[in-house]
Amino acid sequence: MKATIYALLAGLLATIPALGRDFRPLRMQATDSTTTLRPGEQSRGRIVLVHGFMEKGDTFRMLRKRLEKQGFECLVARMKPSDGRSGLEELAAGLKREIDETFGTGQPISIVAFSMGGLVSRHYLQNLGGAARCKSLFTISSPHQGTWAAWAYPSKGAAQMRPGSGFLANLSESEARLGAMPVVSYRTPMDLIILPPTSSVWQRAENLEFTVPLHPLMLNSGPVLDDIERRLMDHYQG
């Protein structure tokens, strides 16, 4: 029985990214991972976009386009290996290097993270000193309490996303290091990857629920993107 369930979950994990791409209304060519400002243009702020499991960051193209239009510099993280086989700590260390190389070590940033990227971002913020420079954190459909779907994949990172893992326990114990940082967790009750969907609820965060039909479509949801854009504009006024 367990083998059957795991096989079904594995199939679901394999098809969801492609299904999400099929639903996207725009097909854009791949672009550089970092925004380049025009000569004389002043940056409103620096935003780091952290992708999820088995992704490359192209899922952020709609949000990135909106934020760049508002004058934000965006870094789309390129986490490798994207299946987390080396562990989420290793991905967080790579995220720190990429942020430091792109924006320096002292410039303030905000992070918007999807799915697994939310846990990677939390490790960077809570255990690698990132909280000292971060103005705000937004997680979208992240398994803060773990997800049953993680049993369908054999990588170290997937094991760390299973309910009750030591990695999740460490994040819970160290979350005080976020200080007073504003944190928002977005979720959908119709999520088929974050199981149960309430696993995206994080007590430390402001939790917002949007009725979106599939996990990857959260990054195409107008109300979700509207809320993120509005909050970032508020955080970077002046």
Range of the structural domain that residue 148 is part of? 2-36+55-235
How many other C-beta atoms are found inside a 10 Å radius of the C-beta of residue 37? Answer: 11
Question: What is the chain's mean pLDDT, rounded?
Answer: 88
Chain segment 57-86, per-residue pLDDT in tens = 999 999 999 999 999 999 999 999 999 999
pLDDT of residue 41: 62
Average pLDDT over residues 29-52: 73
Confidence of residue 14 (pLDDT cuts 50, 70, 90): very low
pLDDT of residue 42: 82
pLDDT of residue 21: 40
Please return the burial class of 128, using the count of CB atoms within 10 Å of its CB with bins 0-12, 13-18 and 19+. middle
CA dist 47 and 76 (Å) reads 9
Q: What is the CATH number of the domain that holds 89?
A: 3.40.50.1820
Q: Which of 35-44, 88-97, 179-188, 194-203 has the lowest mean pLDDT?
A: 35-44
| Residue 221 forms part of a structural domain | yes
pLDDT of residue 77: 97
Number of domains in the chain: 1
- Helical ranges in 39-192 per DSSP H: 61-69, 88-103, 116-127, 156-160, 166-174
pLDDT exceeds 50 at position 156: yes
Give me the percent of the chain exceeding a pLDDT of 70.
Answer: 82
Answer yes or no: are the C-beta atoms of 165 and 119 closer than 8 Å. Answer: no
| Residue 49 forms part of a structural domain | no
Residue 2's φ and ψ, nearest 5 degrees, are -60, -40
Answer yes or no: are the C-beta atoms of 73 and 48 closer than 8 Å. Answer: no
What pTM was estimated for this model as a whole?
Answer: 0.86
pLDDT exceeds 50 at position 27: no
| Residue 229 forms part of a structural domain | yes
Q: Which of 5-9, 123-127, 212-216 has the lowest mean pLDDT?
A: 5-9
CA dist 174 and 52 (Å) reads 22
Tell me the angle at which helices 222-235 and 61-69 cross, rounded to the nearest 10 degrees. 40
- Contacts of residue 109, Cβ cutoff 8 Å, sequence gap at least 6: 45, 46, 47, 48, 99, 103, 133, 134, 135
Residue 40's φ and ψ, nearest 5 degrees, are 85, -10
| Residue 46 forms part of a structural domain | no
pLDDT exceeds 50 at position 7: no
| Residue 41 forms part of a structural domain | no
Tokens 């993120």, located at residue: 228
| Residue 45 forms part of a structural domain | no
Residues in the chain, overall count: 238
pLDDT of residue 237: 86
| Residue 201 forms part of a structural domain | yes
| Residue 67 forms part of a structural domain | yes
Confidence of residue 36 (pLDDT cuts 50, 70, 90): low
- The secondary structure element, H or E, covering residue 235 is helix 222-235
Chain segment 92-117, per-residue pLDDT in tens = 999 999 999 999 998 999 999 999 99
pLDDT of residue 23: 35
pLDDT exceeds 60 at position 15: no
